[in-house]
Amino acid sequence: MATPLQCWVEETARLTRPKKIVFCDGSDEENERVLAEMVRWGRSFPLNPQTYPHCYLHRSDPRDVARTEQLTFICSPRKDDAGPTNNWMDPVEARKKVRPLFQGAMRDRTMYVVPYLMGPPGSRFSRIGVEITDSPYVVASMRIMARIGKVAGELLGDSADFVPGLHSLGDLDPERRFILHFPEERLIWSVGSGYGGNALLGKKCFSLRIASTMARQEGWLAEHMMVLGLECPDGKVSYIAGAFPSACGKTNLAMMVSALEKQGYRVWTVGDDIAWLKPDEDGTLHAINPEAGFFGVAPGTNRFTNANVLQALRRNSLFTNVGMTPQREPWWEGLDEKQPADLTDWKGQPWVSANGPAAHPNARYTVPARQAPCISPNWEDPAGVPISAFIFGGRRARVAPLVYESLDWQHGVFIGATMASETTAAASGKIGVTRRDPMAMLPFCGYNMADYLRHWLEIGKRIPKPPKIFHVNWFRRDVNGRFLWPGYGENVRVLKWVVERAEGRGDAQETPLGFVPAKGALTLEGLQIKPRAMKELLDVDPDDWGYELEDTKEFFDEFGDRLPPEIAEEHRKLARRLGLTVSLRTVP
Ligand code: OXD
Ligand code: MN
pLDDT digits (tens, 9 = 90+) for 28-64: 999 999 999 999 999 999 999 999 999 999 999 999 9
Write the pLDDT tens digit of every residue in 446-493.
999 999 999 999 999 999 999 999 999 999 999 999 999 999 999 999
Q: How far is CA 247 from the centre of its chain?
A: 9
What pLDDT, on a 0 to 100 scale, did the predictor assign at position 583? 58
Question: Catalytic residues, which ones?
Answer: 248
Overall average pLDDT of the 537-562 stretch: 94
Say how many Å lie between the CA of residue 224 and the centre of ligand 2: 6
Q: Is the pLDDT of residue 283 over 80?
A: yes
d(CA 245, CA 18) in angstroms, rounded, equals 38
Alpha-carbon gap, residue 246 to 273, rounded angstroms: 9
Query: Cα(275) to centroid of ligand 1, in Å?
Result: 13
Share of the chain above pLDDT 90, in %: 93
Ligand 1 contacts (CB < 6 A) are: 67, 196-197, 246, 273
For 469, list phi and psi in degrees, rounded to 5. Answer: -115, 130
499-506 mean pLDDT:
96
- Residue scoring higher pLDDT (31 or 588): 31
Dist. CA 236–CA 216, nearest whole Å: 32
pLDDT of residue 581: 73
Confidence class for position 584, pLDDT limits 50, 70, 90: low
- Predicted pLDDT at 1: 85
426 pLDDT more than 80: no
Q: Which ligand is nearest to the CA of 68?
A: 1
For 128-182, give the DSSP string: EEEEEES-HHHHHHHHHHSEETHHHHHHHTT---SEEEEEE-TT--GGG-EEEEE
The pLDDT assigned to 588 comes to: 38
Is the confidence at residue 429, as pLDDT, over 50?
A: no
* Residue 425: predicted pLDDT: 35
First to last CA, the chain: 58
Q: What is the pLDDT of residue 516?
A: 97
User: Apex CA 26: angle with CA 22 and CA 29, to 5°?
Assistant: 85
Q: What is the mean pLDDT of the chain?
A: 95
pLDDT above 90 for 585: no
Query: Residue 358 — very low, low, confident or very high, per pLDDT cuts 50/70/90?
Result: very high
Candidates 565, 402, 417, 411; CA nearest to 495 is 402
- pLDDT at 582 exceeding the cut of 80: no
Among residues of the chain, what percentage have pLDDT more than 70?
97
Mean pLDDT score, 243-262: 94
When pLDDT is averaged across residues 491-503 and rounded to a whole number, the result is 98
Is the pLDDT score of 428 beyond 60? no
What's the confidence (pLDDT) of residue 430?
Answer: 46
Nearest atom of ligand 1 to the alpha carbon of 67: 6
Predicted pLDDT of residue 397: 87
Atom of ligand 1 nearest to the CA of 224: 4
Nearest CA to ligand 1 atom 3: 197
The whole-number pLDDT of residue 511 equals 96
Nearest CA owner, ligand 1 atom 4: 246
Note the pLDDT of residue 432: 60
